[in-house]
A and B are shown apart, each in its own frame.
Chain A
Amino acid sequence: MDTANRQSEMLDYIAKQRRKRDLQHYWVSFALMIVFTVLAFLAVYFRKSINDYLIAFFIVTMAVVQVIFQLYYFMHMKEKDHGFPALFLYGGAFVVFVTVLSFVTIVWIS
């Protein structure tokens, strides 16, 4: 067997292992996202016996954590060469944060 052939076989093997690991990550992220969703719905389902502000804080936290999984695993932001995507997305998220903050605090609606 010549070296070029052996090298391509090795690269094949590495790529296959990487895909296997990716697949595992996807399943784990998916399972976690389901868990976060179910927890958020359960918190609201038992709203009679839990403090409202606690529930609100909890479900928003669950949403943010779930979105982080979606972004970094499903949308591949954890992979290399994702500096600009992160800049664009967090830039947009910052504008959103400022907009929402101003709308719930200083915008006056009669």
Chain B
Amino acid sequence: MSGANHVDIRTLSHPETATLEGKNKFLGFWFFLGGETVLFGTLFATFIALRNRVATGPSSQELFSLPLTFLSTIILLVSSLTSVFAVLAMKEYKIRQMQLWFWLTVVLGLAFLGLEITEFKEYVHEGLGYTTSAFSSSFYTLVGTHGCHVLFGVLWISALMIQSYKKGITTVTAPKYYVSALYWHFIDVVWVFIFTIVYLLGILGG
């Protein structure tokens, strides 16, 4: 069917790393994720060192609630699953399925952001401003940076999906879809440590 120097993309089981450019994007993105790990690590270290310095403001035990954190966690965990399904659909060249799963990821990401915004609003209402205490600054910086990553992921994946209606799944676009899903999983990895160290240990106290 196909000519000697024309490869049918459907025969490739890994369209994301089929070209040198794709391989470089894959490698470069993992290098970036290593850097992101260090970025969040420093924010975690700062938070852990300062989490009991509440000055005159409210403490984590007075603020955090188990049900809300649990809901955010499940939303982000499900969105991680939908983005893994999107990549699976991409490898099968089912573009409609891929778009559906990625859009679902975006919707769940927006739901997570909505919850986080209402949560922060409530904390400010209860007297926890950004400059209230060392605890509040390190808390807002850590969780806020994660929230910014969620927002960026939502915008990035949305942009890729809008583009996908025009460009489809090619060796040029496949690395982008793949790498954006990696980014989304990484956001969930960071959240696992946030809900454990910030919220659960915060509720536990000490």
A66 to B195, alpha carbons, bound, how many Å? Answer: 12
Residues of B within 8 A of A26 (CB): 81, 84-85, 88
Report the Cα distance A78→B134, complex, angstroms. 40
> Who on chain B is nearest to A30 by CB?
B81
* In contact, B196 and A63 (Cβ under 8 angstroms): yes
> Contacts A22-B88, A40-B200 known; A11 to B193 CB distance under 8 Å?
no
B186, B203, B204: the one within 8 Å of A75 (CB) = B186
Instruction: Assess the A40–B196 pair: CB atoms within 8 A.
Output: yes
The reply to whether the CB of A89 lies closer than 8 angstroms to some CB of chain B is yes
Using a CB-CB cutoff of 8 Å, which residues 64-80 of chain B contact chain A? 66, 69-70, 73-74, 77, 80
Contacts of B48 in A (CB 8 A): 100, 103-104
Contact A95 B38 (CB under 8 A): yes
Instruction: Please measure, in the bound complex, the distance between the C-alpha atom of A85 and the C-alpha atom of B73, giving whole angstroms.
Output: 26
- Interface check B131, CB cutoff 8 A: no
The docked-state distance in angstroms from the alpha carbon of A33 to that of B195 is 14
Dominant SS among interface residues on chain A: helix
The size bracket of the interface on A is 35 or more
Q: Is the CB of A34 within 8 A of B30?
A: no
Known: A52-B206, A55-B204. A8 touches B49 (CB 8 A): no
Q: Which of A44-99 contact B (CB under 8 A)?
A: 44-45, 47, 52, 55-56, 59-60, 62-63, 66-67, 70-71, 74-75, 81, 84-85, 88-89, 91-93, 95-97, 99
Name A96's contact: one of B44, B66, B84, B92 (CB within 8 Å): B44
Verify B49–A109 contact, CB threshold 8 A. yes
Q: Determine which of A44, A55, A92, A109 lies in contact with B66 in the assembled complex, contact meaning CB atoms within 8 Å.
A: A44
- CB pair A52 B204 closer than 8 Å: yes
Q: Establish whether residues A62 and B38, one from each chain, have CB atoms under 8 Å apart when the complex forms.
A: no
Contact with B77, one of A22, A30, A41 (Cβ below 8 angstroms): A30
A47 touches B204 (CB 8 A): yes
A-B contact pairs, 20 of them (CB 8 A): A19-B88, A37-B73, A37-B74, A40-B196, A47-B203, A59-B196, A59-B200, A59-B201, A62-B196, A70-B185, A71-B185, A74-B81, A74-B84, A75-B186, A88-B31, A92-B37, A96-B40, A99-B41, A100-B41, A109-B50
Top 9 nearest A-B pairs (CB, nearest first) are A96-B41, A92-B37, A88-B34, A85-B30, A92-B34, A103-B45, A63-B196, A103-B49, A99-B45
